[in-house]
Amino acid sequence: MAESIGNSGTGMKLHTKILIALVVGAVSGIVVNTQLGSTHAGVTWVNTYLAGPVGQVFLRMLFMIVMPLVFSSIALGVAGLGDLRKVGRIGGKAIGYFLGTTFIAATFGLVMVSAVQPGAAVPESVKAELMATYAEDASSKIEAQAAGEFGINTFVNIVTRNPIKSAADGDMLGVIFFGLLFGAALTQIPRERAEPMLKVLEAINDVVIVIVGMAMKLAPYGVAGLIFGVTSRFGFALLKPLGGFVFVVLGALLLHLFVNLSLILRFVIGISPLTYFSRVRATLVTAFSTSSSSATLPAALKTATDGLGVPPKIAGFVLPIGSTMCMNGTSIFEGITVIFLCQVFGIDLTLGGMVMVIVMSVITAVGAAGVPGGSIPLLVGILAMVGVPGEGIAIVLGVDRILDMTRTVVNVAGDISATAFVAKSEGVWDASMVPAKAV
């Protein structure tokens, strides 16, 4: 599935088309901006009747699937643990490790983007014009975000009164909470009673993933239209921060991999980072080339058991869960992207807003579909929560492929390390059991 969505038949790969579309849309927009001006009748006509509608169709397809994707992914992820009463100890350790490292990753990413502030390279005049251009789309969301204080009511409101209304209103936290409870409840009833609902959820998830694929096939046209609309209005000034954005994301991913994870390996798991990375190197290359944790799962299982000596029962239980729940790299990307676009659009987040971005980056990273483009709809949902217009996603979508490949490496590295953590905590493995030679 990942490959069928990531590629476009036997011709040019989808990510190549998106990158070309980004360049074509940006260059043509800059040219008409400098030669004709943003208020030229021809430019206005193209934005109103061609580029704008095409971009909006792409965005609407993403928004359309956010809520069913969140609910089905979260519910299936929890229900996939099986009987929580039987696997609670090992499952709890694994999930705790996944969520803990993902939280560290998301926090680290937000600290980096807040310190470097790549979005600050956009002139204040452009920021003001951006907000004026998209005021109708963003004003109500900005007011809601600004009015809400992060406190006890934030947590109370997570418990939705009506999950259907939450979905209709775009209340992602309410839908996520309901999905968590729904999945947990499915593990508490007899398997034969839960099976029909699990099949329905699996079917919904499969259908939504197919729709993600359809939306991503429209991505080159949508990105070209959205980027043309932005650059034809604002010229080159808006594209300058992209280099800084890519630098911050890649820097955060690599630092988390070789600093944060290395510290966990050394002081929590008790294995030399050099030994660990030498054993998992080939699997990380596979992760980089496929951009899919799911596609890398067979190689990861072999690496954990043969390369690190983790017992097969532990690896076989932890890794499949981790392929959908251990998303260190994805949480870094989502958090940095949200803050970067807030900087670009001139939206100042409060401390509570920053905490909410971290929490949402962790939760939605766990719930992201394991296919290329699967995290984009959820990312759009977070942007809407903080008042960033949906059009903003086009600014970063064209450079997403290299970031996707790199964050998958971080996801898989964290996933494999979890097997060693759980095995050590269960007293069935330690660093002395690592084979003398890499497999």
Work out the end-to-end distance of the chain between its first and last CA atoms, rounded to an integer number of angstroms: 28
| Residue 324 φ/ψ, nearest 5 degrees | -115, -20
d(CA 72, CA 309): 34
Region 82-93 average pLDDT: 68
Region 54-62 average pLDDT: 81
pLDDT of 107: 93
Token digits of residue 399: 């450079």
Element (H, E) at 395: helix 393-397
Region 271-278 average pLDDT: 95
Cβ atoms of 43 and 32 closer than 8 Å: yes
Residue 85's pLDDT band, with cuts at 50, 70 and 90, is low
- Burial pattern 39-68, b for ≥16 Cβ within 10 A else e, equals eeeebeebbeeebbebbbebbebbeebbbb
- In the chain, the domains with their CATH numbers are 2-433 (1.10.3860)
- Which residue do the tokens 């990942």 mark? 2
Task: Record the pTM.
Answer: 0.69
pLDDT of 152: 59
Cβ atoms of 296 and 284 closer than 8 Å: no
- Which residue do the tokens 């088309």 mark? 17
d(CA 60, CA 63): 5
Residue scoring higher pLDDT (301 or 399):
301
pLDDT of 76: 77
| Most confident residue range from 127-131, 285-289, 406-410 | 406-410
Helices (H), 121-171: 124-133, 135-147, 152-158, 163-169
pLDDT tens digit sequence for 31-52? 998 888 878 888 889 888 898 8
36: three-class secondary structure by DSSP: coil
